[in-house]
Homo-oligomer: A and B are copies of this chain.
Amino acid sequence: MAVGPGTLPEFFPVAGVRLGIASAGIKKPGRKDIVIFELAPESRVAGIFTRNQFCAAPVTLSRKHLSVCAPRYLLVNTGNANAGTGQQGMADAVSCCQALAEKAGVAAEAILPFSTGVIGEPLPVGKIVAALPDALESTSEVRWAEAASGIMTTDTRPKGATCQLDLDGHTVTISGISKGAGMIRPNMATMLGFIATDACIEPELLQTLASELGEGSFNRITIDGDTSTNDACMLIASGQYNGPEITATSPALPKLREALRAIYLELAHAIVRDGEGATKFVTIEVIGARDQQEALDVAYTVAHSPLVKTALYASDPNWGRILAAVGRAGVPDLDLAALEIFLGDVCLVRNGGRAEDYSEERGQAVMDGEEITIAIDLKRGDVAETVWTCDFSHDYVTINAEYRT
């Protein structure tokens, strides 16, 4: 179950980024569960990681390696998160990096490891190492679609976005893939995102873009409010295009930033559209807030309310549940009489109660759609924030009650 068609695009290859896929049989025999990114030597990489304090060993190790030298390989495995695995987990992550480094002839610190899957099971290092030769031999610039499938866990479909743009006469390519699909909430989730461009971007600017774009997209989606231990969203700039290095003062930066932002949003939204059991894609806009914190508090309280989410699943315009969620969001001195809540273009709440011109029919018409926007105007400031989420269905319970079995 997922919202919208969600078909993969025809990926534009990114010069300097080769993808390798292999099967280690970590969880299911024959399943393609290893994906490697092979990067040209001049490549630069930046990213953001989960803020869960119990981050997995690969997250800790990737952060460390990023600070040591320029990455040459990203090593992704699914089926096992190598999280909650203590010291052995760290040793296992190091072993995988060392094995790939030897075979590829680079330093172990040039490998960034990423794992996703079950928490608390020992990482099957032997299986992963045994699959590395296949992964290395298979690298190619045209395997984005296979890589998108290779990083899936409970995802029902692969997720990708791609585009080309002209920067001062030079063609820039951007391609990316992502995976979800549960334990998704701000500050990353069981979520992996890999976005690559052949543009040459000054390192500090690259990190600024990775943080800013990740914050406004991957860190604004939530399926169930559970933040995972493993998440990462990486931005790769291979520098293989034939244009000049882009810096914070480059006239071309705004156009590049917008193109990257569109790719980030498309990949983040794709995770919500494929949220576990999702039948609705829901945009929650809070406007008229005094500051960002209260805007986010209201947006996430509504987005995480099981009663709101089950009402969305039922296509039930149960605005009382939305109002109740806003009321418990912890925003001081909310003026109920001033507040307005819209479902699509239909005003639900005004003057402290159901809007005079509201009718079940009009609310139902909006709720019957697959894509729903809930807008909440707090009428007390000029700060706005948007969060994307999905509904809460029987399938969510089924998927998560049976995940390990």
Q: Enumerate chain A interface residues (CB-CB to B < 8 A).
A: 51-55, 81, 83-89, 118-120, 182-183, 185, 187, 224-229, 304-307, 310-311, 313-314, 316, 318-321, 323-328, 331, 334, 336, 349, 351-354, 392-394, 396-398, 400-405
Q: Is the CB of A397 within 8 A of B352?
A: no
Contact A307 B227, CB 8 Å, known A53-B328, A54-B323, A397-B397: no
Contact of A353 among B84, B307, B336, B397 (CB under 8 A): B84
Please give, as numbers and ranges, the residues of chain B lying within 8 Å of A402 by CB-CB distance: 314
Q: Is the CB of A229 within 8 A of B327?
A: yes
The distance in angstroms between the C-alpha atoms of A367 and B240, with both chains bound, is 55
Contact A324 B87, CB 8 Å, known A397-B310, A397-B393: no
Q: Is the CB of A321 within 8 A of B119?
A: yes
Q: Is the CB of A311 within 8 A of B401?
A: yes
Please give, as numbers and ranges, the residues of chain B lying within 8 Å of A354 by CB-CB distance: 84-86, 120
Give min CB distance, A66 to chain B, whole Å. 21
Give min CB distance, A326 to chain B, whole Å. 7
Give min CB distance, A255 to chain B, whole Å. 36
Contact A323 B120, CB 8 Å, known A310-B397, A402-B314: yes
Contact of A313 among B51, B119, B229, B397 (CB under 8 A): B397
Give min CB distance, A191 to chain B, whole Å. 13
The distance in angstroms between the C-alpha atoms of A91 and B394, with both chains bound, is 40
The distance in angstroms between the C-alpha atoms of A185 and B405, with both chains bound, is 30
Contact A400 B120, CB 8 Å, known A53-B328, A328-B53, A353-B88: no
Please give, as numbers and ranges, the residues of chain B lying within 8 Å of A405 by CB-CB distance: 314, 316
Contact of A327 among B53, B324, B331, B397 (CB under 8 A): B53
Contact A83 B320, CB 8 Å, known A225-B304, A307-B182, A405-B314: yes
Q: Is the CB of B404 within 8 A of A394?
A: no
Contact of A310 among B89, B120, B327, B401 (CB under 8 A): B401
Q: Is the CB of A85 within 8 A of B401?
A: no
Give min CB distance, A48 to chain B, whole Å. 16
Please give, as numbers and ranges, the residues of chain B lying within 8 Å of A401 by CB-CB distance: 310-311, 313-314, 316
Give min CB distance, A403 to chain B, whole Å. 8
Q: Is the CB of B89 within 8 A of A353?
A: yes
Please give, as numbers and ranges, the residues of chain B lying within 8 Å of A319 by CB-CB distance: 84, 120
The distance in angstroms between the C-alpha atoms of A307 and B181, with both chains bound, is 12
Smallest CB gap from A55: residue in B: B327
The distance in angstroms between the C-alpha atoms of A330 and B341, with both chains bound, is 30
Q: Is the CB of B226 within 8 A of A328?
A: yes
Smallest CB gap from A329: residue in B: B53
Please give, as numbers and ranges, the residues of chain B lying within 8 Å of A397 by CB-CB distance: 310, 313, 392-394, 396-397
Q: Is the CB of B226 within 8 A of A325?
A: yes
Please give, as numbers and ranges, the residues of chain B lying within 8 Å of A310 by CB-CB distance: 396-397, 400-401
Contact of A84 among B183, B229, B320, B328 (CB under 8 A): B320
Please give, as numbers and ranges, the residues of chain B lying within 8 Å of A314 by CB-CB distance: 400-402, 405
Smallest CB gap from A304: residue in B: B225
Smallest CB gap from A353: residue in B: B86
A-B contact pairs, 7 of them (CB 8 A): A54-B334, A119-B320, A119-B321, A183-B307, A187-B328, A227-B324, A396-B397
The distance in angstroms between the C-alpha atoms of A53 and B336, with both chains bound, is 8
Contact A86 B352, CB 8 Å, known A54-B326, A328-B52: yes
